[in-house]
Amino acid sequence: MSDIRIIHKTVYSYQSPVSLGPHRMMLRPRETRELKLLSFDLTISPEADVTWAQDVAGNSVATASFQDMSDHLVIESRLTLAMSAPHWPVFAIAASAQTYPFRYSDEDWTDLGALALPQYVDRTGRLSDWVERFVMRRPTDTLSLLKDVSNGVSGQVAYQSREDMGTQGPLETLDRGWGSCRDFAVLFAEAVRTLGFGARIVSGYMFDPAHSLVGSAGQGSTHAWVEVFVPGAGWISFDPTNRAVGAANLVPVAAARHITQVAPVTGSFLTLQGDLAHMDVAITVAALGA
């Protein structure tokens, strides 16, 4: 078990006082049997009224509303948590789903809904053709197939950290031959959805005390990966950026159908004099007491 501390600070500086619109924040981790939140503190400057809710996916969402104009906005979350996910997990996959292809139950299929459907246009079936290369035969072992697709993403696409906003579509990532962790996640999720799996994209933090992993480079980086629903085992984490399976190094904060739904902070401002002057994000993830 590891106890860790995470500090996530976002600072917006404006050229002149602005009127801040509501800001939506997804910063509180999703607790699981293997991840226990010990403390969580959210501070915001200037003063704001903060309300909490859960979205349709069960993510904790804070909304900050502001009364006064300001030339800055500082959002900082501080949390501690205990992680106990094994590095070599064993998944109790149902007998009916151990080989692919398999059929989800009617109930699971209904509940998965859009999570099992591709989210990007692929009129010529290029992504389907690409992912079929990993299906060596039918039937085949389900978990091995998912691992092969995940490894295939990082095997055929070079990792490159990107600080700019937005995410590449899956075909764009294949054409460019490079992408960030969020691009890898989108490609993998779309690929397995093309095969009929239910998948959701996850954003959060990566705990890497040995500094041996990639995908969370720099002080201001969150990480992105994918969870695939397999009957019996439930949601299994796949990190194609690091060719990893399981949640041993991962702290999930938000899970959703589309990458645009898991942004840590979103909001708006109104000004007549100037635009956003500067934004800075600093994130530290370290063992408690380090």
pLDDT tens digit sequence for 117-127: 999 999 999 99
User: Percentage of the chain surpassing pLDDT 90?
Assistant: 86
Confidence of residue 153 (pLDDT cuts 50, 70, 90): very high
* Other Cβ atoms within 10 Å of 171 Cβ, number: 17
pLDDT tens digit sequence for 2-14: 899 999 999 999 9
Distance CA 155, CA 151 (A): 6
Q: Please choose, from the candidates 213, 153, 242, 230, the residue with its C-alpha nearest in 3D space to the C-alpha of residue 189.
A: 153
Distance CA 17, CA 147 (A): 50
Paired strand residues for 256: 201
Mean pLDDT of 178-190: 96
* Other Cβ atoms within 10 Å of 26 Cβ, number: 23
Between helix 181-194 and helix 142-156 the angle, nearest 10°, is: 140
What pTM was computed for the model? 0.95
pLDDT of residue 167: 84
Q: How far is CA 162 from CA 158, 215, 233, 250, 277, in A?
A: 12, 10, 33, 20, 20
Distance CA 74, CA 48 (A): 11
Confidence of residue 166 (pLDDT cuts 50, 70, 90): confident
Confidence of residue 286 (pLDDT cuts 50, 70, 90): very high
Give the three-class secondary structure for 108. helix
